[in-house]
Amino acid sequence: MIESIRCPNCGSIAERHHLSYLAQVKTQCEECDYLLVMCTRSGHVLESYAPGLPSEPRSPIKPTASRFLSRTRDIAIASKI
Ligand SMILES: [Zn+2]
């Protein structure tokens, strides 16, 4: 079961994974690499990682470059020969 929560570190949308078979709850944020793994039985924090907020904004993910250049035209010319 995955629950959407607010990251306690940066405030972005983070994911909380309920790992019932491990009796663990894992909270992770892709925005700032925040990680918290907690045991639901004992309430103990097993693993935690809370990085500082990035000082410079991350470059947005570039869309994959399209490769529709003049390839089809070249093939069309070649077929006429
Ligand atoms: Zn975060």
- Residue 78: its H or E element: helix 71-80
Q: Where are the domains of the chain?
A: 1-52
Walk along the chain (81 residues) and give the pLDDT tens digit of each residue.
Answer: 999 999 999 999 999 999 999 999 999 999 999 999 999 999 999 999 998 865 555 555 555 554 444 455 665 666 666
- Span from the CA of 11 to the centroid of ligand 1 (angstroms): 6
- Span from the CA of 58 to the centroid of ligand 1 (angstroms): 13
Q: Give me the pLDDT at residue 52, please.
A: 81
- Span from the CA of 17 to the centroid of ligand 1 (angstroms): 15
Given a contact cutoff of 8 angstroms between Cβ atoms, the answer to whether 14 and 26 are in contact is no
- pTM listed for this prediction: 0.62
- Span from the CA of 50 to the centroid of ligand 1 (angstroms): 8
- Span from the CA of 65 to the centroid of ligand 1 (angstroms): 29
